Amino acid sequence: MQKRRIAILGSTGSIGTQALEVIEANPDLFEVEVLTAQNNADLLIQQAIKHKPNTVVIANDALYDKVNSALDPLDIKVYAGENALGGVVENENVDMVLTALVGYVGLLPTIRAIKARKHIALANKETLVVAGELITQLALENRVDILPVDSEHSAIFQCLVGENINPIEKIILTASGGPFIGKGKDFLKNVKKEQALKHPNWDMGAKITIDSASLMNKGLEVIEAKWLFDLKAEQIEVIVHPQSIVHSLVQFEDGSIKAQLGLPDMKLPIQYALGFPQRLKSDFPRFNFVDYPNLTFEKPDMQTFRNLGFAFEALKAGGNMACIINAANEIAVDAFLKDKVGFLQMSDVIETCMQKVNFVKKPVLDDYIKTDEETRALAQSLIA
C-alpha cells in the first residue's frame, strides 16, 4: 500500500483525535498533510507541533494570530476562515480527506474535495443527509470513493465487501438507545443536558451525544445509508441494541444475514476507511463473547423518540426535506445545550420546520443553501 497523505477536517474533535492516533500507529502508511479546527486553537497547535502537517486551518478568524505565531517557527502554513477549509482539500499533496467536521459546515468542503478528486473518508453524516443526491452524483462523475467512518455504515460496508453481485434485501442499523432507553415522555420532559450527555457506550462530542439520546443520530444515519448504499426507505430497518457490539447487519435476498461485531471503539472504522481495501494490523482491544453472554435487541420507540420517524418521513418525501430536518435539529440541539428548550421540545421545533419551510422537490446546491438558511431562521424564531 502506497503511503497516503491525509487531510483531517476537524482534527480536534473526537473522530479527528482518534484518527491521529491511528495515523501515529501506522507511520509507514499514513502522513498528516492538513489539520483543521473551528475554535480549539490550543489543541490544534499541539497537534501541529507533534504531527508537523504542511498546512493548518483555524476556521475562527479571530484565532489566526495565535495559531500563526505558535507555528511560524515550524514553517507550517496557517490559514483562517471557513473558505480556507475548502481550499486546503484541493492541495495536490492531499490523497484522502477525512471529513470529521460536525454538522452542515462539512458540506461545502466535501464538495470541493470531491471535485478535486480526493477520496473521502466520511465521518460527517450531515453531508449526505443535506445533499445526498448531489454528493453521490459528484462522486460518481469524479470517480471518487466515499468510505464511511460511522461505525454503523462501516459495518454495512464491511459486510458488503465481496458481495457486489448479490442484491441487498435490507440493512439493519443498530442503535444503542442512548441514556434514555425505555424512558417515557413524563420522564423525558424534565431531563437536563447533563443527563443526556452521559452516553452509556460511546465517548463522542456534545452534539452527536444529544442526537444519540434523541435518536436523531440514528435518523440521520438512516438517511445517510440510503445514499451510501443506494437503498429505498423500506430497505432500511433500525433496531435497538444496548450493548453496541453488533454494529449493523445486512440481509440478502436468500435470507442470509451478515453482521459486523466488535467493541465500541471508533478507531477501528477510522482505520478501515483510511486503509481500505487492506485490513491493517492493530492492537485495539478484542471482543470476547464470554464477556458479553447476553446480546439483546428490541424495536425503537418512535412514538416517544419522534426524530427517528421524521427521518423516515424525509426519505419518503425526498427533495430538500432532509436538509430541513438537519438544520432544524442543529438549532434545536444548540438551544437544548444552552438550556433554552426542553428535550422533547427539540422534536416540536423540527416538526414545525418540516411543515413550514418551503419544500423543493428537485433541489440544486443553491436550494440546499437557501433551505438551510431559511430553516435556521425559523427554528431560531420558534425558540426565542
**Does residue 181 sit in the same domain as residue 227?**
yes
**Does residue 169 sit in the same domain as residue 249?**
yes
Residue span of the structural domain in which 174 resides:
153-264+285-303
CATH code where residue 363 lies: 1.10.1740.10
Q: Which residues pair with 175 in a beta bridge?
A: 240
List the grid coordinates of 239.
433496531
Query: Would you state the pLDDT for residue 55?
Result: 97
Q: How many CA atoms lie within 13 A of 273 on its CB side?
A: 33
Query: Would you state the pLDDT for residue 18?
Result: 96
106 occurs within a structural domain: yes
**Does residue 95 sit in the same domain as residue 186?**
no
277 occurs within a structural domain: no
Query: Would you state the pLDDT for residue 128?
Result: 96
**Does residue 8 sit in the same domain as residue 78?**
yes
112 occurs within a structural domain: yes
205 occurs within a structural domain: yes
Asked if residues 171 and 225 have their Cβ atoms less than 8 Å apart, the reply is yes
Task: Please write the tens of the pLDDT for every residue from 140-186.
Answer: 999 999 999 999 999 999 999 999 999 999 999 999 988 898 899 99
Number of domains in the chain: 3
Q: Which residues pair with 174 in a beta bridge?
A: 239
Query: Would you state the pLDDT for residue 301?
Result: 95
Residues sharing a CB contact under 8 Å with residue 9, sequence separation 6 or more, in sequence order: 16, 34, 36, 85, 89, 97, 98, 99, 100, 101, 106, 109, 124
Query: Would you state the pLDDT for residue 201?
Result: 76
Q: Which residues of the chain fall below pLDDT 70?
A: none
C-alpha 35, offset from chain centre: 18
**Does residue 220 sit in the same domain as residue 88?**
no
Running DSSP on this structure, what letter comes out for residue 74? G
pTM given for the model: 0.93
Q: Which residue among 113, 148, 183 closes a domain? A: 148
Give me the amino acid identity at 140: L
Query: Would you state the pLDDT for residue 199?
Result: 81
- CA 351, CA 38: separation in Å to the nearest integer? 29
Q: Find, among 97, 101, 131, the residue nearest to 114 by Cα.
A: 97
204 occurs within a structural domain: yes
- CA 120, CA 259: separation in Å to the nearest integer? 24
Query: Would you state the pLDDT for residue 124?
Result: 92
**Does residue 45 sit in the same domain as residue 22?**
yes
**Does residue 109 sit in the same domain as residue 182?**
no
CATH code where residue 20 lies: 3.40.50.720
**Does residue 19 sit in the same domain as residue 49?**
yes
